[in-house]
Structures are given as structure tokens and as C-alpha cells.
Amino acid sequence: MKYHIEGMDCASCIGKIETALKRMPGVSDVELNFATETLELSLTPGAPTQASDIEKTIKSLGFGISANTGQQTVSAIDIDSDNQMAPQDKRWWQTQKGKQVVGLGILMGSAYALSLLFPAYGIWVFAIAVIVGVFPFARKALALAKTGSFFSIETLMSVAVLGALIIGEAEEAAAVVFLFSIGELFESIAADRARAGIRALASLVPKTAILLDTQGGQRDVPAASLQVNDLVLVRPGDRVSADGSIVQGASSLDDSPVTGESVPVAKTMGDNVFAGSINIDGVLQVRVEKTAADNTIAKIIELVEQAQASKAPTARFIEKFSRYYTPAVMAIAALIIIVPPLAMGGDWGTWLYRGLALLLIACPCALVLSTPAAIASGLAVGARRGLLIKGGSALETIGKVKTVAFDKTGTLTEGKPRVTDIVAFTQEYLSSQDQGSQGQDEVLALFASVETGSSHPLAEAIVSHAEAAKIVIPVASKASATAGKAVHATIAGRALAIGSPVYAADEASISAEQQAQIEALQNEGKTVSVLFDEQSREVLGLVALRDELRDDAHEGVAQLKAMGVRSVMLTGDNRLTAQALASNLDVEWEAELLPEDKLRLLNEMKNNSKIAMVGDGINDAPALATADVGIAMGGGTDVAIETADIALLKSRVTDMAHLIALSRATMTNIHQNVIFALGLKGVFLITTVFGITGLWIAVLADAGATVLVTLNALRLLRFKGAPPLVTAPKVVK
């Protein structure tokens, strides 16, 4: 049986649902995927449990459920309107939890105003607000208890609030309910944003395709309807609608959504193309080889879902602690109230007073705030520094990583090709009489003239370089292109062309010396373009381009090394490029990787330590999801940013060190808060039991612990970043 579950905000929701279902007779093989909100289970025929019982149980826990029938989804929830908005389309204030927060805020504000106008009735007004606010949580706590989760965080919170209400601290009880509701809302928003990454992946494949019939006619059809062996037309600027092979035409294709290759790849008849790739400059006819359900993007989506589902559900710290803390405190309070009067003839009123005081001291307000207060401060200071962290779990985990895997293109590098070398070979055509900078300038001017008007990234890089150098670019005529191979133009009456070394080798005369120079540049990981005269077949010069390292890449990697964190570079680019850049950075590397290869390597590295993955491309989405922490560069694709746990909005490699330092500072702050909260309570628990301190001291102890925890958490707002690198002083002789 398959279901769709709504309202799961954190990994602990999985445990609550699984615990409830496993207690039901006949239910087995329960598999719940938090990322896709899908539930699969087996139900034994003839078992006492019916499908309606499963739906009723899950709804009683506060979750929505609908039965997945394969082709359509039949809702098991009452729908009030045919125009009901999809959950992912709602604003936060339109959701059930958003309405609850807004309602509680209005109720608490009204209670505070009425208490000022009618002080004598203030406590009763707050009491009404507390009862209304805590009712949904208490009802959920009761349902969880009935299904096996006896000491959930809802139970912990409900007991704390009702305990505070009983001893007259209605204002504090109301504040706890309100803050807890806000925390639940934040988790819901974070969960929806995480799931948006999967929806964004599907949008990469165009919704329509141009289908060619046997007579050569064209018609627009849904891309999802394409079948194997269909023939589709892909125009310049279009995204490829399906995985297939080229049967007619040639072009350069931007495969970065799939392979991460930084430079467009020239493809012609017989070459394979991927769904989602961008056709740059030629018209192609492609034969479909895979349906929409089996194409490359669909596989990437599946990898993301599997990676997110494979993450072990980690319950919140307070949820784990409450399994022991809540029953222990309740048992101790009950014993203090009952045992002394029965066993020692004590006064019932005195010991009831002490029991309630103990319950107030044990009220986990400070403990509940200890983690989220520090996390909130950490997230705030991170956002101020351009570190978008999508929740406390990611902030906690990143400080524990021992290995950071970097995608190369757009992460360690700029993601844009730059001109690195200009070589002038001949003086017969050039007006200059030397091979120096003036000769290079004239070669660059000819390159830019031929490339003017082309939208190819390499052409744009060459023209931009010439303009930045203030080179006068000659006017070209009769410009044309051989798709995926070369560009042509006539300058001063001579026909010139620019192509790859392979194309130039067939169309021009390349000497052994020139070939050696080309190979030397390629061995440095550079892409080489050759300028030659089409009539005389003479090679005039070379331009080499490379996607260069970010300005702060060296410093960023060095900072991580100083913090005891290992760096590894993973890329879909060729081995020569990867080796040249990795040697420059002094990092380990792996090259020519497809998405599944990156996934395999990350899983191998995860066996030894916690690992973070930093990327910016669509092809990085599965790796970002499977790593302990996925980190996206802010200048990358929306898909990478949505899939990742953290986004570096300023696209600085050095921010990785700041991120890890912030996480470690936050965790230190949390540990201090827990010690404050439990230590202070421990002291006053003892003094209260022996009658040394009374109710007012109990209230002060609880409030004092809360204030200490809050003030300590606020210290994180002064976080200054990772310590700067210490360089050895220069010795002056």
C-alpha cells in the first residue's frame, strides 16, 4: 500500500509514524521517505487492521494522509473547497501551523492588554490563552502516547506548561506555548524549502518538444509523451527534450546540467545528447532513446530522493533527552508529593507545595531554549555574513566534518573561461615586425574580429579580453559558422577561420613546433583555439583559455587545512584540467566524473568521517543531498541551492572556514547553555526538596536559567569569523 503523508516537519516525525504503525496487527515493511513524503507498507490480507484504521491513526497524530492509487491521488482528508491551494503553493501564514502562530500571537497580545486594564483578572485571562494554545499539543501528546510514543516533545511541553499554570505562572506558560509554536512553524517552512529542490529538478526538462513526422512535418507535443525512436527537432537556444542521439546536424551543447563540463562540447551525427542540455548554435534532429521516466534528469531526481531518504533520522536533542528527563521529573515530583505524607506523616499541603515548586524548577523552559536560542543566534550571524544555513541540524553537523569535497567548476573556479595565453606565429600577414606584445595584440585583434557576433562562451571571453585590453578590433565581413567546429570571417580581403586544434589540423598546415606548443598549453588544462588563413592554410596564432581559480581559492583551502579539514576536488572536466588546477591548490582530485560517480566516491569517503560537499551545478544535486552537509555556491543554479543544506551567497571559498568555525562556536555555546540550565536546576531541586527554598525562589531559578541561556546565546552575534592564517615572518638579512 502506498500513501502520501503531509505535515512532516522533521526527521523525528518519521519515528512517531513508524512507531504507531508497527504496533498495528498485520502491518509490516513500513518505509517512510521524509523528502518525498511517501509511505509504503504491507498489510496482511484478513488482518484486523483495515486501510481506514491506518488513515485514522496517522490523522490522529496530526498528519495528513492520502492514498496513492498510481495514476491519481485520492484524498483521505476532508476537502472544504474545490479550489484548495496545494501545500507547496501556500504562504507560511496560510498553513495550519502559520494560522496557529498568528492566532496565538493575537491571543497573547489581547491577554496582556486585558491584564493591564483589569489586573485582578490578568491571571485568568492568561490562563484562558494557555489552555487554548496548549490544547492541540496536549491532544497530540495523548494520541502519541496511545500509539507508543509516551514521552514525546509534545508531552514534555504540555507538562511544563500545565505545571507552570497550576502554580500561577500563567504568563510564562503562555510564552512557552507561543515559542514552541514558532519553532514548529520554522521547521515546516524549512522542510517545504528542502522539498522544493526536487520539484526544481523536474523543471529542467522542457515541457514541450517539436516532434517530426515521417513527412517532415513539425508539431508541438508534451515532452512526457515522447516514445523511443521518435524524432525531435532542437533549435539553437532550446533545451534538449529527451536523451537520444543526433541523426542530423552539428552544434555545441552546454552539458553542464549533467556533466558539469565548463566548456560547451561540440557534437555531430551519432553523438549522444542529454535531456536538459542547452543547444547553442546549430539545428539538430535527435532520435529519442529514453522516455521521460528514464532520462538523465529523472535519474538525478531519483538519486536525490534516495540520498535524502538514506539519511539516518536524527531526533532533536531535546526529544531524545525528554525520553529520560520527563518521566524522571514527573516520577520525582509525584514521590515528593505522596511519600512524605504517607510514610512520615508529613503535611499534605506542604509537600504538595514543594512538589509543584520542584515541577516548576524542572520546567524545561531554559532547557528547551538552550539549543534553539544558540541555533537562532548562529543562523542570524551566518545570514549576516552571507551564509544561508537551512536549519540547526546543518549548522550542528558542518562543524564535525573532516573532509570537504569541492566540485571544480563554479566552486573552486569562476565558472567562466578566461584568456590565459596569446601566441603569434607569423609576420608575413601581421604588420608588426617583432614577435613581442604588439604581435600578440594583432593576433588578439584578429581573433576578436572573427569571433565578434558569436554567442559561444569562448568567443565572448576572447572579445571581452580584447576590449579590456583596449585593442582596436577590425571590421569583419561574410561571417559564418561551421556548427560545432569553426567560425569564419573575411578581414581586409582575406578569409580567416578559428577552430579547435583537431579541425585546424585538417584545414591548415601545422608545423611540429606549433603542434608542440598546442600540446604544451593543453597539458596545462587549457582549451586552445587556432587562427589560420583558409586560402594559404597558414596558422597565424593561438589563444588558450581556461576556467581560472577563484581569487580566494588558495586561502580558503589553506584555512581548512589549518583547521584540520581535508579538501578533495571532484569534477566532470578532463583529467589534464583537473590535474593542473589541483596541483596549483595542493589538493586531492578525481576527474571525468558523472553524477553517479560523485555519489559513489562520497559514500566511500563517508565511511571514514563526516563529509561536506560544495557545488554549484545541477549535476551536483545528488552529491549535495547524499553528503552529511550539502553546500551550494550562491552564484550557482537554483537547483543546487535548493537541494543543499547551506548556501554561500557571496560565493567565497574562504566562507567554508568561517562556516565551520561558526558551527563549532555554536556547539560550544549550546553545551554551555545545557550546563547552565541543568546545573542551576539541579542545585535548586535539592534545596527545594529539603525546604530551604520555596516557590518564589523556584520561579527565580527557572527565570534566571532562561535569562542566562538567552544572554549566552546572544554572545554568538559577536562572532568574527575563522581565525586568520598565521604566516611565518620574513627574515630580513
- Window from 11-20, 77-86, 232-241, 247-256 with minimum mean pLDDT: 77-86
- Residue 228 is predicted with a pLDDT of 94
Tell me the mean pLDDT in the region 439-443: 88
Instruction: Check residue 187 and give its pLDDT.
Output: 60
Our CA angle for 729, 732, 733, nearest 5°, is: 145
Q: What per-residue confidence (pLDDT) applies to 474? A: 92
Q: What burial class does residue 440 get, using C-beta atoms within 10 Å of its C-beta: 0-12 exposed, 13-18 middle, 19+ buried?
A: buried
CB 294 within 8 A of CB 312: no
Type of residue numbered 721: G
Residue 588 is predicted with a pLDDT of: 92
Pick from 175-189, 358-372, 506-520, 563-577: least confident: 358-372
Phi, psi of 209 (to 5 degrees): -140, 155
Give residue 51's pLDDT.
Answer: 86
Q: Binning pLDDT at 50, 70 and 90, where does residue 315 land?
A: very low
Q: What is the predicted pLDDT for the residue at 362?
A: 63
| Residue 199, all three cell numbers | 520539484
Cβ–Cβ < 8 Å for 273, 313: no
Q: Which residue has the higher pLDDT, 179 or 87?
A: 179
Place 196 in a pLDDT band, splitting at 50, 70 and 90: low
pLDDT bin (cut points 50, 70, 90) of residue 354 is confident
C-alpha span between 608 and 227 (Å, rounded)? 44
Residue 537: per-residue pLDDT: 92
Residue 38: pLDDT above 50? yes
- State the Cα–Cα distance between residues 637 and 615, nearest whole angstrom: 9
Q: Where is 38: in which H helix or E strand?
A: strand 38-43
pLDDT band (50, 70, 90) for residue 571:
confident
Q: Is the pLDDT at 577 greater than 50, yes or no? A: yes
Cβ(5)–Cβ(58) below 8 Å: yes
CA distance 505 to 512: 11
- Please tell me the predicted confidence (pLDDT) of residue 565: 93
**Minimum mean pLDDT among 136-150, 257-271, 349-363, 438-452: which range?**
349-363
Amino acid at 263: V
Looking at residues 424-434, what average pLDDT do you find? 56
Give residue 566's pLDDT.
Answer: 93
What would the grid cell of residue 716 be?
554568538
Mean pLDDT of 523-539: 90
- Over 70: is that where the pLDDT of 357 sits? no
∠ CA 132-137-138, rounded to 5°: 85
Cα–Cα–Cα angle for 79, 84, 87, rounded to 5 degrees? 100
Return the minimum-mean-pLDDT range out of 341-350, 386-395, 496-505, 560-569.
386-395
Instruction: Find the range with the poorest average confidence among 98-102, 129-133, 400-404, 638-642.
Output: 638-642
What is the distance between the terminal CA atoms of the chain, rounded to a whole angstrom? 80
Q: What per-residue confidence (pLDDT) applies to 538? A: 92
Question: Can you tell me the mean pLDDT for 200-223?
Answer: 84
Looking at residue 277, what is its pLDDT?
87
Mean pLDDT along residues 320-348: 79
Q: How far apart are CA 527 and CA 707, in angstroms?
A: 61
- Condensed to tens digits (0 to 9), the pLDDT of residues 234-276 reads 998 899 999 999 999 988 888 776 665 667 888 889 988 988 8
pLDDT higher than threshold 50 for residue 13 = yes
What does the alpha-carbon distance between residue 200 and residue 430 come to, in Å, rounded to a whole number? 52
The full length of the chain comes to 733
**How far is residue 239's CA from residue 280's CA, in Å, rounded to a whole number?**
9
Mean pLDDT in the chain?
79
More confident residue, 706 or 451: 451
User: Has residue 432 got a pLDDT over 50?
Assistant: no
Q: Which of the listed ranges 163-167, 435-439, 443-447, 520-524 does the model predict with the highest average pLDDT? A: 443-447
* pLDDT band of 170, cuts 50, 70, 90: confident
Q: For the sheet containing 646-648, what is the strand order?
A: 387-389, 646-648, 629-633, 611-615, 403-407, 566-570, 588-590
Q: How far is CA 706 from CA 112, 438, 666, in A?
A: 21, 72, 17
With bands split at pLDDT 50, 70 and 90, how would you rate the model's confidence at 732?
A: very low
Beta bridge partners of 405: 568, 613
Confidence (pLDDT) at 195 = 61
pLDDT at 524 (0 to 100): 84
The region that residue 608 occupies, defined by phi over 0 for left and psi between -120 and 50 for alpha, beta otherwise, is alpha
Nearest to 100 by CA among 9, 198, 163, 37: 9
Query: Using only C-alpha atoms, what is the Rg of the chain?
Result: 33
Q: pLDDT grade, residue 733 (50/70/90)?
A: very low
Is residue 375 predicted with pLDDT exceeding 90? no
Nearest to 255 by CA among 420, 419, 457: 457
Does pLDDT of 323 surpass 70?
no
- The arithmetic mean of pLDDT across residues 120-128, rounded, is 80
Does residue 129 have a pLDDT over 80? yes
Residues 376-411: pLDDT tens digits?
Answer: 778 778 877 878 787 777 888 899 999 999 988 778
* pLDDT higher than 80, residue 579: yes
What's the rounded mean pLDDT across residues 696-720?
72
Q: Which has the minimum average pLDDT: 24-38, 222-236, 537-551?
A: 24-38
Q: What is the pTM of this model?
A: 0.61
Q: How far apart are CA 180 and CA 157, in angstroms?
A: 8
At residue 411, the pLDDT reads 86
Catalytic residue set: 407
